[in-house]
């Protein structure tokens, strides 16, 4: 019994996919910047030199995943001792991303 087969050429929708991907990336980058600002403003630790707060960053990978991190040498120790360096910003970003990309 022959199987039914359909072939489609999606070249005419590729520009729409590219535009959508750029829009998603732009929104994720915007939320990443907001999360870094949140971390700077809401970190509950004493930062004498300002280095720890200045070490909060974000990246967006090729799949539009948001990565938040602090590259100071002691942020992980502060977090382990119950201080909020970047953890609160991650929760903030997660909530913003959920709202931004919620299905309607």
With contact defined as beta carbons under 8 Å apart, do 94 and 66 qualify? Answer: no
> Which residues touch 82 (CB under 8 Å, ≥6 apart)?
none
d(CA 87, CA 2): 57
pTM of the model: 0.84
Per-domain residue ranges for the chain?
14-100
Ordered per-residue pLDDT tens for the chain, 104 residues? 667 777 777 788 889 999 999 999 999 999 999 999 999 999 999 988 999 999 999 999 999 999 999 999 899 999 999 999 999 999 999 999 999 999 65
């Amino acid at each position: 019994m022959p199987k039914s087969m359909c072939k489609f050429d999606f070249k005419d929708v590729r520009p729409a996919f590219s535009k959508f991907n750029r829009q998603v990336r732009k929104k994720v980058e915007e939320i990443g910047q907001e999360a870094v600002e949140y971390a700077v403003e809401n970190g509950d630790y004493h930062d004498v030199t300002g280095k720890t707060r200045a070490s909060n960053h974000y990246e967006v990978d090729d799949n539009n995943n948001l990565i938040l991190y602090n590259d100071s040498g002691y942020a992980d120790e502060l977090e382990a001792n119950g201080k909020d360096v970047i953890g609160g910003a991650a929760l903030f970003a997660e909530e913003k991303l959920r709202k931004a990309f919620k299905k309607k």
